[in-house]
Structure 1
Amino acid sequence: MCGTLRQRFDIAPDADWAAEIDPRFFGRADAYAFARAGIGRISVGAQTFAPQVQAAIGRIQPFAKVAAAIAEARSAGIGRINLDLMYGLPGQTLDDIAATVAAARRLAPDRVAMFGYAHLPAMLPRQRQIDASKLPGAEARFWQRALAHDLWVEAGFDAIGFDHFARPDDSLAIAARAGALRRDFQGFTDDRATTLIGLGASAISQFDGVIVQNEKHVGRYRMAVLGGELAGTRGVRRDAHDVAAGTVIERLLCDRQVDVAAIAAAHAMTAEQICHDPALLDDLAGQGVITRNGWSLAITALGAPYARLAAAAFDRYRAVSRGQFSAAV
């Protein structure tokens, strides 16, 4: 696939090639194949190292298996490692979080994503096997996230946005300090490209004010592509309000502060036109989640776990999408 992309596109020599892997199915042959393809970074889906939590989510992958996959990658010359971990999993405790972070530190990752588990069985049928009664409540999720944050910061990682961590010399941390951090469909990134092209089933593309998602069903996706048809099956065109509000949301999540009035003026709008729920901002300011100076907003250290809730004040689609997406904490 990487070879085909190089044939079809004019790719910069210093392009950053990265891939997500499942450590249960990644061995030496895979590592060397990835390295030959030019991949220099892998994201490893570890989720948790607590055996009972792995059993609860139906994903058994002992620490030794994950460590072996990372060792194979490094031996093949893939030197940059991302770890994807989760909190809010069924039966997960603070002790599990602490033990998982301690184990993860032994793997010496460059970046860590600490995602909150989103239980959406109506959208993700595989989640129906999970006992929802075992899921931690909102308060437990808050403290799990807070503990993970403190442990990674104590380990010398920079906190990036609200759910990522990176070594200070990693490009993600450098971008964050420079105010150049971005957020896309998969998380925080230092990629400054304005065009995103998604290849493959369910992949998402964004360009020229348009967001398009490819056919989710692999078979139908293949039929469309092999038949010479476009693979996109759903999409939206972003209007001026969407672009302005999206910029406010991105800067608030990435920088933890934003000048709403300045962004509004750049789009020939007012801050009042962009803000969908001013009462929510007033409430969050009263609770110490954000500080306000007119339309200059900043998320406090205490309010960091609620960054997405603050951003929701600028999401006019929130009312119609409530319940379809992950919780703010």
Structure 2
Amino acid sequence: MKTEIIQKYDKGVPRYTSYPTAHLFKPDFEASTYVDWLQAIPKEMPLSLYSHIPYCDSLCWFCGCHTKITQKYKPIQEYMGSLHKEILMTADAMGRGRPVNHMHFGGGSPTILEPEDVKKLFQTFNEAFTFTDDAEIAVEIDPRDISQEAIRAWAQGGVNRASLGVQDIQDKVQRAINRIQPIEQTAKVAKWLHEEGVHGINMDLMYGLPYQTVDSVLETIRQVMTMAPERIALFGYAHIPSLKPHQRLIPEEVLPDFNERFEQQEAAAELLQSYGFVRIGLDHFAKPDDPMAVAFKNGTLRRNFQGYTTDKADAMIGFGASSIGALPNGFVQNIVAIRNYRAAIDSGTFAVAKSIPFQGKDKLRAAIIEQLMCYHEVDLNNICEKFQSSIDEFDYEISALRSFTDDNIVRYQDGVISVQHDARALVRSVCALFDEYHGSREMTYSQAV
């Protein structure tokens, strides 16, 4: 596809890890309402859990996460005390022993925890919930500062999938983003994971970083392939210094331009597929026998705040400062500021800060957007039938597709929208047509490509 066509539609749009999206969450959510939402979850419904560990010992300048830099361990220990309380408070509100089939530890850097604190964290979770035999338990790893002893603690707790942050292996790029990480260190951590029985290994890479070129991105992939990962996440760097002021430390003049970003993305995707990876959604790649590739093939792939996932749960509970939960009644987010989060929890009150209840056709539109994000295709007739609605409700959106069909970005026939293979980078722009809230408020988003 011609780059001028892609540029025409390369507008700032949400990443659609949820619908409605997080910027629409409203403040002043009562803790008592959150308890009602928790108790409304059917007892037999398997849960997904997310725990946020919002600490790192250094700041990566590309970072867009909620994190706090510390060189001292005491604040982390104090935070963990509050996190333990929140886990047990939540379980008590719902009834302990609820089934869990998916858990994810994110940050920040969860692996900043000392092994003993990792063990205590799993003890608390096992006291509060019951994990199914096939539960996937995943952790994000910063390979720069983890020991084999720490990996052993995570593995003994039940971790069976790990995501290693790599981004890029070139020294010039690493210095420009303040993340010095020799490839040998990453390889050593991957080896330790296998030795401790964790064989589900993901590698997180990025394109669009300062000083990156097509050749450097491809060389990073070749080096990463020597570690035999099962999955690759290939994210485009989102440069939004208005939201993340520390990104101003990255000189804009050394960032790849639109054409370079697009070439990096497509060249990387082509190389990964030549290694036998299945291209999944916007930015994921998996070996054909990996559970994500199987879910993609079977039509059960999902998308949530962690991105593409095999997580089948219809209720995700968030723990920790800034964490987001997705419940049958709506989305809820905890207080972002660590001090205020701890003050609420330590006083015996849930630290909820924002929420948005589902209303109107939110769940219908969410299903359409999720299907497009996962498969780049959606049958409006099937989804409308599932939600007891009519495709006629989307006359406006279907009419708005005309520009996309004229530019050969999508095909539309008999209620089926298909994003053309060479235009998949623009799927978020297609999703925005079905976003009833998009454009209603001034927001800064990352570009579609």
TM over 0.5: yes
**How many angstroms does 1:183 deviate by?**
0.5
1:245 is aligned to 2:335:
no
Report the equivalent of 2:328.
208
In structure 1, runs of 5+ residues without a counterpart are: none
CA distance in 1, matches of 2:389, 2:156: 50
CA, structure 1 residues 124+180, in 2 after alignment: closer, same or farther (shift >3 Å)?
same
Q: Which has the higher contact order (CA 8 A, sep 6+)?
A: 2
Report the equivalent of 2:184.
64
Partner secondary structure for residue 175 of structure 1: helix
Report the equivalent of 1:319.
439
Q: Which amino acid aligns with 1:187?
A: G
CA, structure 1 residues 278+131, in 2 after alignment: closer, same or farther (shift >3 Å)?
farther
Report the equivalent of 1:83.
203
User: Percent identity, aligned pairs only?
Assistant: 35
Partner secondary structure for residue 236 of structure 1: strand
1:254 is aligned to 2:374:
yes
CA, structure 1 residues 87+57, in 2 after alignment: closer, same or farther (shift >3 Å)?
same
CA distance in 2, matches of 1:317, 1:84: 31
Spell out the pairing of 1:236-315 with structure 2 (5 A cutoff): 236-274=356-394, 277-278=397-398, 280-315=400-435
**How many angstroms does 1:52 deviate by?**
1.0
**How many angstroms does 1:278 deviate by?**
4.3
CA, structure 1 residues 3+325, in 2 after alignment: closer, same or farther (shift >3 Å)?
farther
1:194 is aligned to 2:314:
yes
Spell out the pairing of 1:151-190 with structure 2 (5 A cutoff): 151-190=271-310
Q: What whole-Å deviation, never above 9, does each CA across 1:209-257 have from its counterpart, x for those lacking one?
A: 3101111112211111111111111111121321111100101111221
CA distance in 1, matches of 2:434, 2:447: 16
Q: What whole-Å deviation, never above 9, does each CA across 1:172-231 have from its counterpart, x for those lacking one?
A: 000000001000011101111100011111111011131011111122111111111111
TM-align CA RMSD: 1.7
With normalisation by structure 1, the TM-score equals: 0.95
CA distance in 1, matches of 2:133, 2:441: 41
CA distance in 1, matches of 2:367, 2:317: 20
Q: Which amino acid aligns with 2:423?
A: G
Structure 1 runs of 4+ with >6 Å offset? none
1:38 is aligned to 2:161:
no
Report the equivalent of 2:18.
none
Q: Which amino acid aligns with 2:229?
A: P
Partner secondary structure for residue 13 of structure 1: strand
Partner secondary structure for residue 327 of structure 1: coil
CA distance in 2, matches of 1:240, 1:173: 33
Q: Is the 8 A contact 1:276 1:315 kept in 2?
A: no
Partner secondary structure for residue 10 of structure 1: strand
Residue correspondences, number:
329
**How many angstroms does 1:322 deviate by?**
6.0
Partner secondary structure for residue 269 of structure 2: helix
CA distance in 2, matches of 1:103, 1:275: 49
Q: Which amino acid aligns with 2:192?
A: E
Partner secondary structure for residue 197 of structure 1: strand
CA distance in 2, matches of 1:293, 1:232: 44
Decide which moves more: 123-132 or 290-299: 123-132
CA distance in 2, matches of 1:289, 1:214: 38
CA distance in 1, matches of 2:358, 2:267: 38
The equivalent position to 2:193 in structure 1, one of 60, 73, 93, is: 73
**How many angstroms does 1:125 deviate by?**
2.9
Report the equivalent of 2:249.
129
CA distance in 1, matches of 2:134, 2:448: 36
Q: What whole-Å deviation, never above 9, does each CA across 1:245-291 have from its counterpart, x for those lacking one?
A: 11001011112211123323433434353476545522222222211
